RNA sequence: GGGGGCGUAGCUCAGUUGGUUAGAGUGUCGGCCUGUCACGCCGAAGGUCGCGGGUUCGAGCCCCGUCGCUCCCGCCA
């Protein structure tokens, strides 16, 4: 008989009755009845109830066992009587009569119970991650993650993609997030950087003639975390392909994402590809966000023109962008509903959230509420038409400079949708966001910045682009790029672009953003140079792996789908990282530490 | 870097207006119990109330500072 097990703890069935078997696992639960001792033995595969009576040979050993001890138990499989069958357990038709018992490992009193589904503080969970991972919820999530990765890989191979590994020790990239640096021993004062993404490598792979690349790639960014964003490191499904248009990229990834969501939907509805495409500008208007949650039926309308009318005397909204957020059926809400939203808007730094409640007064649409008296009937009717609201609804207003009004309206849309319980449940709704602006105006520094990815191909006339001068600011700010995101339920799932492979256009693009040609050559020389030796048209994308798993696991925090996550403050509480380097290490690396002064 | 929340027994939490010896559940330890599957019953141990200072006759509670976790803003090409 095998030293540890003949079966797993999730394996035994009625058909095994009569066999003598050996199981190994953790003591999930111990129930001592005096004359009878039950041990629920758990491993990766499941739980099996084992039982022994006090006159049993192995009783003294089993009796000492406590929660989470590791035992090897040997005994006969017996059928449970009808009354004692446990339908909640896959092995619940049988139990094992313990004849031999070996303690493989003891466990101290637990800082975190494995049994049960209670919530525990992150600090405890992360310090004792190995215990938390034994618990059903995390164990299930991590297995889901593994299965999703397998599925993604298979689907990518199925589409003719090949997986290649790109370097982890590489060069710092000057754009974007802060880099993690690795000091060089052989070159004093010089550093490797961990890749923020394999962006340049995957483009080089295309120049090198390997079509259709993908990789489950680790990415490192020294930025702070959020619930849906790991600090430090995360994984993405990184994809790049040659001789493709934007539509080709869409056609390649849609079935992969669609397939993986359907495979793990577990009864939830998955929208069918092709996904609707929403221009960035429309997303900002209708959803107040570049991450539209289509499950929320509310659509924002621009009401600036109505408030600009002479017959509308509400001065506070004049010369501002005014966005209207419909609140369907909210006319029946108590005053506190409106007050609460107003308080919330103030907490977001807005002056408030104005509103009118729409009522039907003998066939005429009338407004109620603090600012209703400033809006004459004709204007109200026009607003109702634009915002698609009717008697019985309410209409909220976000008024400010354009970008702030749009953002506030977007937040209000989400909030109102939740308060009124309008968000569809158990459904995954996807959309593409396309036609991103290439540049944006940096008001603080009075200059033009890249608004997203500097490697994207502008939707442009090449000659005109190369001839742009600083006087063409408006036209430059109006430029769009072949860049795209897929958003699912308000989460950014993937982001990609058709790349800029034209060295002259790239130098010009960086020049517009304030980088001298020599500087661009210096920083992106490797890639620029490659583009001078025959670069195929190419494009690709990267899917946030944890986000996909998070959505499919029904979790709202990325740590719930990460095996060993850092805290929000970027610490590993289990392995104790970061930690100081020894004097010897520092000397080898030619480093001296200058601690910040505490004030 | 900034704002909000939390920090009390191994663990999860309660703790009134500042007032006697800081409580419960769970776990741990001991006793009883032959069909439980969150077993049940009895008993015991277990506390620097995150840490430091202050106000007060008196602080878990009020004030100041600080640390940790978390959520958000900044940041994330």
A49, β-bridge pairs? A40
Q: According to the model, what pLDDT value does residue A599 have? A: 42
Nucleotide B10, nearest residue via CA and C1'? A111
Q: According to the model, what pLDDT value does residue A174 have? A: 66
ipTM, two decimals: 0.90
pLDDT band at A598 (very low <50, low <70, confident <90, very high): low
Q: Is the pLDDT of residue A335 over 90?
A: no
* Cα distance between residue A30 and residue A54, in whole Å: 14
Q: Is the pLDDT of residue A597 over 70?
A: no
Q: Which nucleotide is nearest to A116 (CA to C1')?
A: B38
Residues 6 or more apart whose Cβ sits within 8 Å of residue A161: A212, A213, A214, A239, A241
pLDDT band at A33 (very low <50, low <70, confident <90, very high): very high
Q: According to the model, what pLDDT value does residue A523 have? A: 83
Q: According to the model, what pLDDT value does residue A97 have? A: 97
Query: Which nucleotides of chain B have an atom under 7 angstroms from any protein CB?
Result: 1, 10-13, 26-29, 32-40, 68-77
Mean pLDDT of chain A: 92
Helix (H, G, I), strand (E, B) or coil at A222: coil
| Region A381-387 average pLDDT | 95
More confident residue, A445 or A56: A56
Print the SS3 string covering A376-413: CHHHHHHHHHHHCCCCCCEEEEEEECHHHHHHHHHHHH
Q: According to the model, what pLDDT value does residue A218 have? A: 96
| Region A562-575 average pLDDT | 90
CA A561 to C1' B10, in angstroms, rounded, equals 27
* Cα distance between residue A253 and residue A257, in whole Å: 6
> What phi and psi, each to the nearest 5 degrees, are found at residue A37?
-125, 120
CA A117 to C1' B14, in angstroms, rounded, equals 21
Nucleotide B34, nearest residue via CA and C1'? A35
* Cα distance between residue A136 and residue A143, in whole Å: 10
Q: Is the pLDDT of residue A488 over 50?
A: yes
CA A28 to C1' B6, in angstroms, rounded, equals 30
CA A599 to C1' B54, in angstroms, rounded, equals 22
Q: According to the model, what pLDDT value does residue A199 have? A: 92
| Region A554-573 average pLDDT | 92
The β-bridge relationship of strands A427-428 and A269-270 is parallel
Q: Is the pLDDT of residue A381 over 90?
A: yes
Q: According to the model, what pLDDT value does residue A175 have? A: 65
More confident residue, A295 or A419: A295
* Rg of chain A, C-alpha, whole Å: 30
Q: Which nucleotide is nearest to A87 (CA to C1')?
A: B37
* pLDDT tens-digit map of A519-544: 888 888 888 999 999 999 999 999 99
Name the least confident of A337-346, A416-425, A433-442, A465-474: A337-346
CA A560 to C1' B24, in angstroms, rounded, equals 30
CA A571 to C1' B67, in angstroms, rounded, equals 15
* pLDDT tens-digit map of A169-189: 998 876 689 999 999 999 999
| Region A86-94 average pLDDT | 96
């Amino acid at each position: 008989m095998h030293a540890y097990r003949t079966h797993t703890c999730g394996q035994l069935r009625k058909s095994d009755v009569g066999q003598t078997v050996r199981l190994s696992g953790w003591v999930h639960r111990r129930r001592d009845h005096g004359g009878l001792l039950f041990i629920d033995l758990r491993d990766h595969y499941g739980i099996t109830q084992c039982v022994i009576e006090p006159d049993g040979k192995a009783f003294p050993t089993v009796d000492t066992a406590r929660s989470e001890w590791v035992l090897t138990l040997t005994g006969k499989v017996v059928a449970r009587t009808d009354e004692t069958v446990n339908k909640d357990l896959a092995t619940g038709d049988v139990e094992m009569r313990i004849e031999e018992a070996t303690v493989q490992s003891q466990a101290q009193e637990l800082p975190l119970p494995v049994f049960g589904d209670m919530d525990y503080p992150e600090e405890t969970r992360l310090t004792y991650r190995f215990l938390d991972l034994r618990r059903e919820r995390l164990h299930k999530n991590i297995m889901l993650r593994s299965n999703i990765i397998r599925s993604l890989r298979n689907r990518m191979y199925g589409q003719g993609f090949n997986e290649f590994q790109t370097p982890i020790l590489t060069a710092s990239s000057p754009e974007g997030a802060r880099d993690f640096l690795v000091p060089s021993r052989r070159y004093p004062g010089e550093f490797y950087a961990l890749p923020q993404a394999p962006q340049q490598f995957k483009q080089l792979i295309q120049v090198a003639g390997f079509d259709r690349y993908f990789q489950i790639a680790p990415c490192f960014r020294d930025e702070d975390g959020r619930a849906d964003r790991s600090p430090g490191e995360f994984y993405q499904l990184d994809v790049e392909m040659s001789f493709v248009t934007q539509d080709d990229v869409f056609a390649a990834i849609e079935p992969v994402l669609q397939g993986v969501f359907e495979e793990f939907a577990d009864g939830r509805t998955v929208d069918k590809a092709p996904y609707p495409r929403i221009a960035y500008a429309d997303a900002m208007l209708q959803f107040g966000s570049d991450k539209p949650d289509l499950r929320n039926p509310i659509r924002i309308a621009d009401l600036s023109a109505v408030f600009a009318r002479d017959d509308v005397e509400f001065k506070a909204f004049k010369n501002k962008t005014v966005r209207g957020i419909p609140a369907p059926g909210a006319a029946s809400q108590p005053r506190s509903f409106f007050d609460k939203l107003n308080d919330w808007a103030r907490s977001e730094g807005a002056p408030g959230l104005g509103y009118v409640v729409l009522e039907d007064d003998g066939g005429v649409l009338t407004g109620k509420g603090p600012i209703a008296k400033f809006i004459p009937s004709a204007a109200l009717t026009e607003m109702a038409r634009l915002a698609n609201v009717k008697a019985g609804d309410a209409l909220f207003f976000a008024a400010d400079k354009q970008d702030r009004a749009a953002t506030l309206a977007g937040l209000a849309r989400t909030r109102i949708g939740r308060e009124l319980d309008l968000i569809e449940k158990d459904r995954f709704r996807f959309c593409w966001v396309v036609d991103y602006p290439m540049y944006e105006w940096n008001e603080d520094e009075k200059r033009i910045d890249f608004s997203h990815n500097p490697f994207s191909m502008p939707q442009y006339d090449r000659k005109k682009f190369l001839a742009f001068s600083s006087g063409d600011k408006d036209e430059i700010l109006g430029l769009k790029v072949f860049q795209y995101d897929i958003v699912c339920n308000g989460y950014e799932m993937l982001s990609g672009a058709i790349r800029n492979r034209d060295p002259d256009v790239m130098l010009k693009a960086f020049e517009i953003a304030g980088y001298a040609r020599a500087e661009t050559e210096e920083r992106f020389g490797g890639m620029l140079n490659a583009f001078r030796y025959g670069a195929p048209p190419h494009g690709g994308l990267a899917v946030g792996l944890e986000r996909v798993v998070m959505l499919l696991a029904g979790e709202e925090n990325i740590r719930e789908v990460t095996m060993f996550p850092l805290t929000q403050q970027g610490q590993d509480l289990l392995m104790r990282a970061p930690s100081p380097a020894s004097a010897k290490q520092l000397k080898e690396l030619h480093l001296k530490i200058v601690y910040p002064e505490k004030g």
